Amino acid sequence: MRAYIIRRLLQSLIVLKAVLIIVFLMLHLTGDPAGVLMPVDATQEDLARFRRDMGFDKPLHIQYLNFLIGHGRNKGVLRGDFGFSFRHEVPAMGLVLGHFPATVQLALVSLFIGLIIAIPAGILSATFRNTWIDHFSSVLSMLGQSLPNFWLGLMLIIVFAVYLRWLPTSGYEGPEYVILPALTAGLYATARIMRMMRSTLLEVMGLDYVRTARAKGLTETFVIIRHALKNASIPVVTLVGLELGLLLGGTVVTEAVFAWPGVGFLVVDAIVNQDYPVVQAAVALLAFVFVGVNLAVDILYAWLDPRISYR
């Protein structure tokens, strides 16, 4: 177990290393960084001075080294310093971390909504296979995966905020503001988790030990909850971990639609204003969180099924 965790940590470091390289190249993929970051009316002397001050006049591998260990007032990403925001003139990582709690709150509420709908629906769909309950759940699942987030968000705003006036349209000033964006982000996760729960539970319910439990005269509810559900949850846990990572890093559209003050909304604003240090800091932070969530899910497998080998 310990060797497996160490190996997974080393693999995670490799992934994060690759992410940092991509983050570093983001500016250079757009062309000359000075031409992107400086005003359009900047003179050649201004551009040359800016390249010299920022280190853009040096070879690419030297720039990457400066990116890691620091250059000038920038202490380097190894110390968590991605430079200063061009628009807000504050440390980029500090600005991202200030918006991160809102993204975490939205992701957790969205995942909670997904789980309280998907798990019971998946269990009922597998228990009453090929009945109207199963067909109804399948239709809802397909709708949840087919509807675009931006369209669903707008429809929820029109119905619950404009016509019914039950909920606010955007922003964040209280708990009621999270309901519509969480529903928008959570319904897609609901569909995927429900389909996985149904398929894995159907597979487990056909195994010998489940049939033996039924032969002992145990009730179907007890057989499902006590014997089948735990083993059927292993692939679902994997999917839940992936969904949490996607919700933490992939709610950009939802946050933009509802003006939710999270990292996604901040990234959209930074891209529009060419505030690349903020974009780089956000991508690095979300990648770190995604890798950490997946590592935690892998370690959780041992509790769910001790038969899993970590060799």
Q: For residue range 263-310, what is the model confidence (pLDDT) as tens digits?
A: 888 888 888 777 778 888 888 888 888 888 877 777 776 565 655 555
CATH code assigned to 100-304 = 1.10.3720.10
pLDDT attached to residue 150: 82
| Distance, CA of 229 to CA of 200 (rounded, Å) | 9
Burial letters 76-97, b for 16+ CB under 10 A, else e: bbeeebbbbbeebeebbbebbe
Domain residue spans of the chain? 2-79, 100-304
Section 65-93 average pLDDT: 77
Question: Can you give the pTM of this predicted structure?
Answer: 0.76
Examine the pLDDT at 109 and tell me if it is beyond 60. yes
What local confidence, expressed as pLDDT, does residue 74 receive?
67
Mean pLDDT of the chain: 79
pLDDT band at 242 (very low <50, low <70, confident <90, very high): confident
Where does the pLDDT of residue 52 fall: very low under 50, low under 70, confident under 90, or very high at 90 and above? confident
List all residues 6 or more positions away from 71 whose beta carbon is below 8 Å from its beta carbon: 54, 55
167 CB burial (10 A radius; 0-12, 13-18, 19+): middle
Angle between helices 60-69 and 2-29 (to 10 degrees): 120
